Amino acid sequence: MSNASNESGFSLVEALVALAVFAMAGVGLVQLQSHSLSTFQRVETRALADVVAQNELTQIVATQAQRPVGQREQTISYAGREWRVTTEIAATPSPRTRRAVVEVGPADARPVSRVSGFFVSPEAAS
């Protein structure tokens, strides 16, 4: 008689080693997925903040409303989130030109986007 029936299949130790290898691979994949989601959230926040900042700067430049030199802060809603928008209007060497700097971030965090542009101030143009 042969001992072939005793050698077929996996031993308990081999099965446990294989299970441990798969468990470690699974933990690595879960960590990778978690890191990917975290990165996606940061990129999404940055992209939305960029849109809010560009919209605010466009509104400043496009509307010929009087914008005094100084800084103001406001909270706006966009894409289902609250954003803190800080706008600074500064004088330039040219008396007719103003510089606008817009910083945007989540309402409870530091700014993640900053844009700037120049415009002709209607009160300085007169």
Question: What pLDDT does residue 48 have?
Answer: 97
Residue of 13 and 4 predicted with greater confidence: 13
The lowest-confidence range among 6-15, 20-29, 113-122 is: 6-15
Domain boundaries, the chain: 10-125
10-125: CATH topology is: Pantoate--beta-alanine Ligase; Chain: A,domain 2 (3.30.1300)
Q: Which residues contact 41 (CB under 8 A, 6 or more apart)?
A: none
Distance CA 119, CA 86 (A): 17
Length of the chain: 126
Question: What pLDDT does residue 1 have?
Answer: 47
Question: What pLDDT does residue 62 have?
Answer: 87
Q: Which two tokens stand for residue 76?
A: 């706006």
With 70 as the cut, is the pLDDT of residue 123 above it? no
Could you read off the pLDDT of 69-102 as tens digits, one per residue? 999 999 999 999 999 999 999 999 998 889 999 9
Could you read off the pLDDT of 26-65 as tens digits, one per residue? 999 999 999 999 999 999 999 999 999 999 999 998 887 7
Give the DSSP H or E segment for 29: helix 12-62
pLDDT class of 10 with cuts at 50, 70, 90: confident
Distance CA 116, CA 87 (A): 10
Amino acid letter for position 44: E
Residue whose tokens read 């446990």: 16
